[in-house]
Structure 1
Amino acid sequence: MKWIWQSPDWPQFTYDAAKFSLLEREFHRNAGVIVGSLAAISDAEVDELRVTLLSNEALDTSKIEGEVLDRDSVQSSIRKQLGLQTDGRRAGPKEAGVAQMMVDVVKSYAEPLTPERLFLWHKMIMNGRTDLETIGGYRTHTDPMQIVSGRLDRAYVFYEAPASSCVESEMIGYIEWFNQAAEAQMPTIVHAGMAHLYFELIHPFEDGNGRIGRIIAEKALAMGARQSLITSLSTTIERDKKAYYQALERANLSLECTEWLVYFSQKILEAQIYVQKMIRFIVFKARYFDRYRGQFNDRQLKVALRLFGEGLDGFKGGLSADNYTRIAKTSRATTTRDLAEMVEMGALKKEGKLRYTRYYLPMEG
């Protein structure tokens, strides 16, 4: 036997259930904290959080596959899909497609998984593609579906999926398993991790399997938590996608998938912590602009908005005077005066001295 799906026991995955009781409790505890936090913030803040998380997830699930999208276009398209006010920006086909998929997942998270839903998502993320034989359907090509790494002249096939002729029957079994596992209330983190792995091992589409596989995992998490907020799984995975691909490669070797599930569960919990931080960040942003309304000049307001636009991580290494001068399109002397004013009023924290001076938003943690 060379490939996992050639095993006589395929697809009977096994795992050590004892390893996941504490992880499962932590998942549901975190989910409860998130739901409670959402109940304590305004509708406008919930909308901003949802747009931010969905756009980050759209960008990062694409980035994992080496595809860089335009952030502003993705956000504008997501706002449009959610029925929120937009800047009127026209999104490109890739940005519009992945935005549609992210919003559809949120709206349909509680529904059973179906082939039609998978085909719809595939059409969305392949929006604008003309190089594929099949869009919105399972692959049909006769060539082997191989996952290859390394240089073109020294390529290494680390996995080959079932033949296209087997995909439809494999996916009938997969979808039946996914829905039955949800109904049987399989531990949520196990359901999500196994759903992602099982889908990737079938690799049913000509392209886009990673993105759809990760969104299926998000769907499983939302179903288990009984709330539609995206968990930011791709955003967490993208920070160390090399480890993600290594974990997937090791999981190709055996139907005993405890190691994979432990790795994936840890990523889920990290993603939940990220969401909690994002909630605090969104609340801080709203309070920040309430506090300093009318106190900033146009330059200071522009820079403050840009700082928040950088998200939780902010400017790498902090905001420098040179950054401020470029963003505000002003002189060095004016920059010095503006920054001193913002520090004095408490709108920025100052760290370092002379050319090593950097400025940060005054958010704890």
Structure 2
Amino acid sequence: MKWIWQLPNWPQFTFDTARFTHWEREFHRNAGVIIGSLAAISADEVNELRVTLLSSEAVDTAKIEGEILDRDSVQSSIRKQLGLQSDGRRAGPQETGVAQMMVDLFRSYQEPLAEERLFSWHKMIMNGRIDLEVIGGYRTHADPMQIVSGRLDRPKVFYEAPPSDRVEEEMKQYIAWFNQAVEAQMPTVIHAGIAHLYFELIHPFEDGNGRIGRTIAEKALAMGARQSLITSLSSRIEQDKKAYYQALERTNASLDITEWLIYFSEKILEAQVYVQKMIAFIIDKARYFETYHSQLNERQTKVVLRLFQEGLTGFKGGLSAENYIRIAKTSRATTTRDLAEMVDLGALRKEGRLRHTRYYLPAWGVAEDEG
């Protein structure tokens, strides 16, 4: 079979532009709502939101590739690089590298895409790797770059990228296209969707193509929205990785990428809704501590901070007395008293009875807590 890059008109992608008018309008409407919401919160809250979104994107883009990172270490590294107060914990090379890439994206989102930046990102996310021939440069190996799955004895090749000796020229063309699309004011959802797909089809690096490709899409979205806040695209994609890989696989044989762009546009809008929820969550958190901070003891405050650290979904199934004992490092009798006081104050909401009793922060509903 012919791969997409072997087709005569490669890389002249086609799509039905009219089908994306609604998504483009919604993207910019959502971006306006987000920018307006940011104006209503403090500088400290904006920084907290930025750290949360950057760290979530870093962790989730790695998780899509099957790599599990320590979220607290990533967040600590991002705080340190942004010049914010951190807990001082030492992050591993993988956590440090992906955190560096996310912070660099945030700081440089307005700059044109350049080969040097891609090489820099690759060095960051391959931090500590010793098994690759080239780090910080395009692949050079003679073997085909294949995407395979299935049993080791019967692998199935889903896609084969252009050979290594074509990559440099392909990437020159790609980078020129990306920057020209910005100048031509290509609709943002289309620009981001093509930018990600086109990069993945070239697959220019030995490893890390998915993570860098999604970062490029985030860059396109930030440029289109004219603001540096990460859209949390990977966090939405990671919710259904199978659909993501299936959507990519379906693009292998045709330059008509309308269906891919529909899938990607939907994910972009989902990600924007998630960001809006995160802003509301941070506002709720600030209001919560304005109301209850002076009324909570040190143990109670520690547990509440841990609950908020779980983000929008909270503790799965709610907070139990056992959770409280473990987090606060206290006795069962003290736990019972602390929890009863918090319920009386309205700082926690109680659900269930006896061993099924669970506690929830008042900012969330039960359905969200059980996420």
Shorter chain as normaliser: what TM range? over 0.9
- Measured on the aligned residues, the alpha-carbon RMSD in Å equals 1.1
Find the counterpart in structure 2 of residue 64 from structure 1: 64
SS of the residue corresponding to residue 112 of structure 1 reads: coil
CA-CA distance at 1:2 after TM superposition = 2.0
Cα separation, 1, equivalents of 2:315 and 2:153: 39
Unaligned runs of 5+ in 1: none
Contact 2:24 2:187 in 1 (8 A): yes
TM (normalized to structure 2)? Answer: 0.96
Amino acid at match of 2:217: A
SS of the residue corresponding to residue 311 of structure 2 reads: coil
Q: Which moved more, 1:334-343 or 1:233-242?
A: 334-343
Q: Deviations over 1:37-91 (max 9, x none)?
A: 0011100000000000000100000111111111121111111111112222221
Cα separation, 1, equivalents of 2:152 and 2:340: 54
Find the counterpart in structure 1 of residue 108 from structure 2: 108
Contact 2:24 2:189 in 1 (8 A): yes
Q: Deviations over 1:5-33 (max 9, x none)?
A: 00001101001111100111000000000
Find the counterpart in structure 2 of residue 257 from structure 1: 257
Find the counterpart in structure 1 of residue 46 from structure 2: 46
Amino acid at match of 1:310: E
Identity of aligned residues (%): 79
Find the counterpart in structure 2 of residue 167 from structure 1: 167
Cα separation, 2, equivalents of 1:77 and 1:154: 41
Cα separation, 2, equivalents of 1:154 and 1:350: 54
Q: Which moved more, 1:211-220 or 1:326-335?
A: 326-335
Q: Deviations over 1:251-302 (max 9, x none)?
A: 2221100111000110000000000011111111122112112211222111
Q: Deviations over 1:74-125 (max 9, x none)?
A: 1111111111122222211111111110011011101110101100100111
SS of the residue corresponding to residue 313 of structure 2 reads: coil
Q: Which moved more, 1:14-23 or 1:283-292?
A: 283-292
Contact 2:293 2:301 in 1 (8 A): no
CA-CA distance at 1:354 after TM superposition = 2.4
Q: Deviations over 1:298-332 (max 9, x none)?
A: 22111111101111111111111221122222232
Find the counterpart in structure 2 of residue 312 from structure 1: 312
Find the counterpart in structure 2 of residue 85 from structure 1: 85
Cα separation, 2, equivalents of 1:337 and 1:117: 55
The 5-angstrom pairing of residues 1-365 of structure 1 reads: 1-364=1-364
Cα separation, 2, equivalents of 1:293 and 1:327: 18
CA-CA distance at 1:364 after TM superposition = 4.7
Cα separation, 2, equivalents of 1:353 and 1:248: 48
Cα separation, 2, equivalents of 1:296 and 1:326: 18
Contact 2:51 2:79 in 1 (8 A): yes
Cα separation, 1, equivalents of 2:37 and 2:150: 45
Number of residue pairs the alignment of both structures matches: 365
Contact 2:148 2:156 in 1 (8 A): yes
SS of the residue corresponding to residue 135 of structure 1 reads: coil
Cα separation, 2, equivalents of 1:242 and 1:306: 31
Find the counterpart in structure 1 of residue 369 from structure 2: none
User: Which consecutive segments of 4 or more residues in structure 1 shift more than 3 A?
Assistant: none
Unaligned runs of 5+ in 2: 366-371
Cα separation, 1, equivalents of 2:29 and 2:282: 21
Amino acid at match of 2:291: R
Amino acid at match of 2:247: A
Q: Which moved more, 1:262-271 or 1:323-332?
A: 323-332
SS of the residue corresponding to residue 178 of structure 1 reads: helix
Amino acid at match of 1:33: V
SS of the residue corresponding to residue 165 of structure 1 reads: helix
CA-CA distance at 1:353 after TM superposition = 2.3
Amino acid at match of 2:45: E
Amino acid at match of 1:21: T
Cα separation, 2, equivalents of 1:329 and 1:116: 49
Cα separation, 1, equivalents of 2:66 and 2:148: 14
SS of the residue corresponding to residue 147 of structure 2 reads: strand
